[in-house]
Chain A
Amino acid sequence: MPSLRREDVAHVAKLARLTMSEAELDKFTEQLGQVLEHASDMNALDLDGVIATAHPFGLINVVREDVRLPSLDHDVVIAMAPDAEDGRFAVPRILGEAP
């Protein structure tokens, strides 16, 4: 596997909505690189026929009936908001449409 590059870390920080200083980028590149390096023993294995496990005890088809359960009180919900208006959560302007 190619070793972790600084621009990979910068890209990933953006994806994760985290701002990194130059010093932090350097430090994290080194530290994450070490973890990934440690994982090289795992990477080297040929696990082609192995399938990922879903639930360790094979649970399937867990569903609930389509019946109403109590919702939260509106006032309680809005009280948590850092900023609210007209019963809605307020956020600064959104620059792009949703994917």
Chain B
Amino acid sequence: MTLPDGWEMVVGLEVHTELKTNTKMFCGCANAFGAAPNTNVCPICLGLPGSLPVLNVRAVELAMAIGTALHSTISPSTFHRKNYFYPDMPKDFQISQYDLPINAGGYLDLPDGSQVSIERAHLEEDTGKSTHLGGSGRIHGADRSLVDYNRSGVPLVEIVSGPDIRSSAQARTYAAELRGILIATGASDGRMEEGSMRIDANVSVRRAGDPFGTRCEIKNLNSLRSLVRAIDFEAARQVELLEGGGTVRQETRHWDENLGATSTMRVKEEADDYRYFREPDLVDLVPDQAWQDRVRAGLKPMPAERRATLSTRLRDPSPALLDALEVVIDLGLDDFVVGALDAGIDADLSFARAANEIAGDLEHADNLSLASYVATLQMEQSGELSATQAKAVLVEILANGGEPVAVAKSKGYERLASDALGDVVAQLIDEHPDEWARYRDGDEKLAQFFIGQVMKLTKGQANGKEVIAELQARR
């Protein structure tokens, strides 16, 4: 989507991710999704009188890993209280970080070649979750609300970008790349639909060359698609407003996926006074160089590095191959592809079977060993298995385990003997004289027709390349 001539959008994103720790930020309750309400709670995460917080070291290390991956400066930091009243906040303050965050500065290089600055990535605790009864299930029009504190105290890292993003597409790329990094560091599972990664977008518009305009914040976007649509809508709304002589009011807005529009949530004039002050129940965090080095040493390669590693092994990749590459990086299937390439498997094949078959049953990727993956592709590459058959073998191993030769045998995939193939082709030539005449005269498209017929007759056992060889031999 492009804005009217002369206008540009200015976007900054705040991404909150829940950290993949066993326990919550300040207590030993389980950090788990989907438990029965108010079963993973204790005096600390309920904020009962007399309770005190104690910091989870794994949350700190994951925060440091994120900071390292984003080229931030890992700094001595302090926790602050952000004070406001809300029923999903057990203490009616949130323990967060304010002017001394654990990660300061940084940047993210995007695959499109652009760079987005990172202002900070800090630690904070999550709130409980409310459901609203009566009305539409949204807050407005509800009679009462019910609160579950299982999520209260779950560790979060908030990553704040600079206002460097200039299009919704770039925002999407940033969010996707950041998500890949969060997954690669082990910090997050990146499941936006489960709420473990949430995005707020700050959007303003300006005529090129002008200073930044007034921005609006769109909160809690939970899919990349919503992110793009919401940003585009909001930028267009602001441009229309300004071109009509109006002014943009600084406010927080809510994105309605069904209506496809943002609407006012809260006006920021009555600016919340959070009365930040240093959390007296916690002490300062000063990660020494040795600790920082250990975290850095333990980091796995990030998507950008893995993308580069794989790209260097491709000569003149087609658009389809590049798409498959993205899928492989996104889903962390590089090891399969690298292993296949190392074993001499053709690049298109190595990528395609990962980006399609393995991607299709990601949950069970562990059932497929690298050795089995390579062996299956070798059988396909050598002609022992047809493409259809190879795919079926992979799908079977993913679903139920097993190893390629045995699975192929159990499915009855035997290599079709070449003379048997010759007989089949001869039979089809007899049965389809018109098609054969056109093929013989040079209509290459009919090769596909004959391949299809051969497959029908042989129940997929023939090898496409061999069929073509037969046809050509008989021309």
Name A's B-contacting residues (CB within 8 A): 15, 17, 52, 54-55, 59-72, 74, 77-78, 85-99
Contact = CB atoms under 8 A, between A and B. Distances in A.
A55 B278 CA distance: 11
Among A54, A59, A85, max chain B CB count under 10 A is at A54
Contacts of A69: 23, 27-29, 42
Contacts of A70: 28, 42
Nearest to B88: A98
B466 interface: no
B121 interface: no
Contact of A54 (B84, B127, B283): B283
Nearest to A63: B57
B87 A94 contact: yes
Interface of B: 21-23, 27-30, 36-43, 46, 54-60, 78, 84-89, 127, 130-132, 134, 139, 142-149, 219, 252, 254, 265-266, 272-275, 278, 282-287
A94 B127 CA distance: 15
A59 B146 contact: no
Nearest to A55: B283
8 contacts: A60-B285, A64-B28, A71-B39, A72-B41, A78-B38, A92-B145, A93-B139, A94-B139
A66 B127 contact: no
B445 to A, nearest CB: 59
A89 B139 CA distance: 16
B57 A65 contact: yes
Given A68-B23, A86-B37, 14 more contacts: A54-B78, A66-B22, A67-B22, A68-B28, A72-B41, A72-B46, A86-B146, A88-B146, A88-B148, A89-B87, A93-B132, A94-B139, A96-B139, A97-B139
Nearest to B86: A98
Contacts of A86: 37, 146
Among A87, A89, A95, max chain B CB count under 10 A is at A89
A95 B141 CA distance: 9
A71 B36 CA distance: 13
A94 B145 contact: yes
Nearest to A91: B87
Contacts of B36: 74, 87
A71 B29 contact: yes
Contacts of A64: 28, 54-57
B46 A54 contact: no
A13 to B, nearest CB: 13
A94 B132 contact: yes
Contacts of B88: 98
Nearest to B129: A88
Contacts of B87: 89, 91, 94
A67 B266 contact: no
A55 B266 CA distance: 38
A95 B131 CA distance: 13
Given A69-B29, A88-B37, A94 B42 contact: no
A59 to B, nearest CB: 4
A89 B131 CA distance: 10
B272 A66 contact: no
Nearest to B285: A61
Contacts of B60: 63
Among A65, A66, A72, max chain B CB count under 10 A is at A66
Contact of A93 (B42, B46, B144, B274): B144
B283 A94 contact: no
A54 B278 contact: yes
Contacts of A88: 37-38, 131, 146-148
A34 B258 CA distance: 56
A67 B56 CA distance: 9
B39 A74 contact: yes
Sorted nearest first, the 8 A-B pairs with minimum C-beta distance are A69-B28, A66-B58, A88-B146, A63-B57, A87-B37, A89-B147, A59-B283, A64-B54
A63 B285 CA distance: 9
Contacts of B38: 74, 77-78, 87-89
